[in-house]
């Protein structure tokens, strides 16, 4: 006679524990979705690059960075063929030939046959830029040109 209340008590406690575990699991999984939003309220002063991304932009966060990112940039002081090449690409809105090939998905760049300078480039909006046979980079634009190193 004393065992039946004990057994029922046991069963009751097991039921409570399982219900508790189920409750925690259920609400815990739901809470995972709210953590990013909640943490955003506690972000005070951060740079754009360190800002926590919202849930809908997680695809962008997991996107792999380009393999050809430059590691350093210098400003030239004298004109040379390399500076001229960089000037022509930067006029068209690209960093250099590597970015141009990545963006336009092509290996071919139109060049003048006699000196190898860039002849024609395609802009990002689809328009065409044409360049002269001879030097185009003026002296005052030399130090505004950027030379990237990988």
Q: Which residues are at the interface with another protein (CB under 8 A)?
A: 91, 119-120, 123, 125-130, 132-133, 141
Least distance CB 116 / another protein (angstroms): 17
Which is nearest to 36 in space by CA: 52, 57, 51?
52
**Please, which residue, 63 or 140, has the CB nearer to another protein?**
140
**Please, which residue, 34 or 128, has the CB nearer to another protein?**
128
Least distance CB 122 / another protein (angstroms): 9
Residue 144 neighbours by CB under 8 Å, 6+ apart: 75
Least distance CB 132 / another protein (angstroms): 6
Centroid of chain to Cα 145: 24
Separation between Cα atoms, residue 104 and residue 82, nearest integer Å: 21
């Amino acid at each position: 006679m004393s065992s039946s209340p004990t057994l029922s008590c046991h069963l009751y406690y097991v039921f409570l524990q399982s219900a508790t575990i189920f409750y925690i699991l259920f609400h815990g999984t739901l809470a995972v979705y709210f953590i990013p939003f909640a943490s955003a309220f506690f972000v005070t002063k951060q740079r754009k690059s360190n800002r926590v991304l919202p849930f809908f932009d997680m695809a962008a966060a997991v996107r792999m960075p380009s393999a050809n990112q430059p590691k350093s940039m210098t400003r030239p002081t004298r004109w040379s063929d390399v500076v001229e090449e960089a000037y022509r690409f930067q006029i068209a809105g690209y960093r250099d030939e590597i970015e141009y090939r990545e963006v336009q998905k092509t290996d071919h760049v139109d060049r003048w046959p006699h000196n190898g300078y860039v002849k024609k480039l395609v802009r990002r909006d689809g328009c065409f830029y044409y360049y002269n046979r001879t030097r185009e980079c003026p002296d005052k634009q030399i130090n505004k040109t950027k030379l990237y190193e990988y």
